[in-house]
Chain A
Amino acid sequence: NAGVTQTPKFQVLKTGQSMTLQCAQDMNHEYMSWYRQDPGMGLRLIHYSVGAGITDQGEVPNGYNVSRSTTEDFPLRLLSAAPSQTSVYFCASSLGSNSPLHFGNGTRLTVT
Chain B
Amino acid sequence: EDKVVQSPLSLVVHEGDTVTLNCSYEVTNFRSLLWYKQEKKAPTFLFMLTSSGIEKKSGRLSSILDKKELSSILNITATQTGDSAIYLCAVPSGNTPLVFGKGTRLSVIA
Q: Do A and B come from one complex?
A: yes
Give residues in A with beta carbon < 8 Å to B.
31, 33, 35, 40-45, 48, 50, 56, 58, 90, 92, 94, 97-98, 100-106
Please determine whether B100 and A42 come into contact, CB atoms closer than 8 angstroms: yes
Binds A, one of B14-22, B40-48, B66-74: B40-48
Give residues in B with beta carbon < 8 Å to A.
9, 31-32, 34, 41-45, 48, 88, 90, 92, 94-103
4 closest residue pairs by CB, A with B: A103-B42, A42-B102, A33-B97, A43-B100
Q: Indicate whether A42 sits within 8 Å of B103 (C-beta atoms), given known contacts A103-B43, A106-B42.
A: yes
Instruction: Please list 20 pairs of residues, one from A and one from B, whose beta carbons are closer than 8 Å in the complex, sorted by A's number.
Output: A31-B97, A40-B9, A40-B102, A42-B103, A43-B100, A45-B97, A45-B99, A48-B96, A48-B97, A50-B95, A56-B96, A58-B96, A90-B42, A90-B43, A94-B97, A97-B92, A97-B97, A98-B31, A101-B43, A106-B41
Smallest Cβ distance from A106 to chain B, in angstroms? 6
Smallest Cβ distance from B89 to chain A, in angstroms? 9
Smallest Cβ distance from B35 to chain A, in angstroms? 10
Q: Which residue of A lies closest to B94 (CB)?
A: A97
Chain A residues closer than 8 Å to B34, beta-carbon distance? 100
Q: Which residue of A lies closest to B32 (CB)?
A: A98
Q: Which residue of B lies closest to A104 (CB)?
A: B42
Smallest Cβ distance from A9 to chain B, in angstroms? 10
Chain B residues closer than 8 Å to A56, beta-carbon distance? 96
Q: Indicate whether A92 sits within 8 Å of B88 (C-beta atoms), given known contacts A42-B102, A98-B31, A103-B42.
A: no
Chain B residues closer than 8 Å to A98, beta-carbon distance? 31-32, 92
Chain A residues closer than 8 Å to B95, beta-carbon distance? 50, 97
Smallest Cβ distance from A28 to chain B, in angstroms? 17
Please determine whether B101 and A42 come into contact, CB atoms closer than 8 angstroms: yes
